[in-house]
Each structure stands twice: as structure tokens, then as C-alpha cells.
Amino acid sequence: MDFCSIPALASSKDVQKLDLGYCGNTKWFLGVDNRKSDKLLISLTCEPAQSCLAHMTNWAVNADVTVRFVNQKSHEKSLTASEFDVQFDRKDKEGHNWKHTFEKVTMNEKSGFYMNGTAMFQVHIGITKVEELYSGDFVDLSVPREGESDMVLVVGDKKLHVSKQILSINSPFFQALFNGSFNESGMSEIPINNVDLNAFHIFLQYIYMAPIEICEENVSQLLLMGDQFVVKKLKRECENFLLRKDINQEDAMELAIFHSLDRVLCHKIKDKSVEELTIWRSLGKPLPPNAKELLDKILVDVPEPEKKEEPKPEEAPVESESSTSTESTEVSSTSSSSTTGTDSDA
């Protein structure tokens, strides 16, 4: 987390809630209450980052938190509140599991805490533990199901009980893993490395045809899952999500470039003006073949910006042939002299 500003705080008669954005699999909010004179009450709220998991209730997040109320005249006079290993959950309905009151705070420009109509805070959140944010109320993979579960996939310290048949039908990767010549085919527990636990669990829910929602927070991870485990249908659904008009278009473009989604990029390119595409091409982003061909076709009459040539390194001076020849002659002469001397000694 970084600096965040709250405008019109001094005159506000309501609790203000500021969206701090995402940290790991969680979304955070800072609440600020200035309704009591000479006191400022702050609170931190946490909730699952992905809207498809927002209905969960049995989750908890532990985090080290620090909130700094910045004095904009003198940073040495800034006020700091911090606490280690705070547990955030939904046991209280508001979700405000951490609160702090700054005492004797005067909200005016003279004090330095309120300048140009703005109060400034610096928030640091360091997550130390996450519980039950991955399981939810979908298919319960945390325990074996009689007659179905015959394999355990291990992600970190979590065990997920799955059906080899269900995974093999939907994923060529797991088909090969369970039935091929890999060492893992004979194991009862298989570690799955380099995956995000929360995203992998949602991926498994998709395989089990549980109701999941692709959203802006999980689409990139699900695309990676679709690639890694060769589930083309999931990739296609993620692409369809990125084609929607009601999401952030710049983020969608960046994700399409990162994951080399030719179809998505071609649609996005068609929707942009020549001016926008000219600027975009100047950034030099790598494109998959169809998207690059389409972009070049649209901008065929628009000259590409000239690339600045890098200065060439200075070449080392080359010795003249005469000096090289002389040196060679001298070496040859010395060698002959040495040989003659040897014969004479003999």
C-alpha cells in the first residue's frame, strides 16, 4: 500500500471509506471518522478480493498493519499506529477488525494534518496468514468423498481431494499425469508447484462444474491455469470476459498482450481509432501474429517513428602492416639466431 488522500475530511460529518485496492487475495478499505472533536478514528476493513468468493463466511486473514497519519508540514510530527498479527474476518458485520484513535488531532492547515483540503495517510499491510479463503461453499475438496476421491493434490500445506477421472476428462495435462509414464502416476499425493492456491481452487471448481464467476481479479490467474493444465474451454471463457465492454479496456489489452490472446487483441484493435493505434504502436508492445498483421494493415499509411541509433563504440586503433611485418621479421630473425647457435654448440 502507498499514500492515499482523503479530501474534505475536515468538514465531513460522515465516516469516509477509501478503497485501498488489493493485497494478495484480499481487498482493503480505510475508514476515517472525524466526527469527534480533537479525535480521529481510523479502521481497516478486509474482504475477499474476488467477487465470486465474496459470499464466503468462514475465512480469516492475519496481517501486520501500519497506518501513518502524515503531517504535511513536518513529517517528524506525523502520527503512526501499528499492530502485529491482527486477525480480519467477518465475525463483526462491519468487518472493522482493527481500529485506532488518534488523540488531540486538530484538523486545520495550521496543524499540518489538513493541507489544501486534503488529509494524507500512508498504509502498510503485510499479510502473514490466510485461512479458508480458497475453499468456500462450492465442492468441498478439503475432505475425501466416498466413491469419488482417489487422488490428493498438494498445494503448499493444503491437500485437495480430487477425482482422477473428472480431472483427466477435462484436462490433457492431468490425463497424462495420472495415466502416463510419469513418476507421479503411481503416487497417492502429488504436489502441484508454482500455482496460486486460491486461483487453483477456483480452477478445480470450474473443472467440477461448480458455479464460478470470472472477474477482473481472477481472469489472469485463470488464463495461466488454462495454459498450464491445457483447458481450452476455460481459456476461451476468459477471452470472452476480456472482450466485454464493461471492464477496464486498458487492463484487458495488457492482459491480452501478456497472454498472447490473438482473438482478443484483434477485436480491441478494430475498436480503436487510428490515432490511438498509432500511439499504441509507438510503445513497441510485442503482438501475436494475427494482431500484428491487422495493426500493420490499418496503419499501412502511417509511418513508424524513427528509431534513434545508438552511438557505436570507439574502435581500437589498428596497427599498420609495416610495423606488424617488422615485428614478425624480428621474431623470425631471433628464432634463426637461436637455431644457429644451437647447431654451433653441437
pLDDT at 138: 63
Cα–Cα dist 119/133, whole Å: 33
Cα–Cα dist 127/119, whole Å: 26
Cα–Cα dist 140/156, whole Å: 18
Architecture category of domain 3-131 in CATH? Sandwich (2.60)
pLDDT at 317: 58
pLDDT at 310: 57
Cα–Cα dist 320/269, whole Å: 58
CA distances from 28 to 18, 45, 125 (A): 9, 6, 9
**pTM across the whole model:** 0.52
pLDDT at 58: 67
| Residue (of 79, 80, 74) closest to 110 by Cα position | 74
pLDDT at 342: 39
- Dihedral sign, Cα of residue 261, residue 264, residue 270, residue 272: negative
Q: Where are the domains of the chain?
A: 3-131, 134-225, 243-302
For the chain, residues with pLDDT lower than 50 are 1-3, 135-137, 320-346
At the fourth CATH level, which superfamily is domain 134-225? Potassium Channel Kv1.1; Chain A (3.30.710.10)
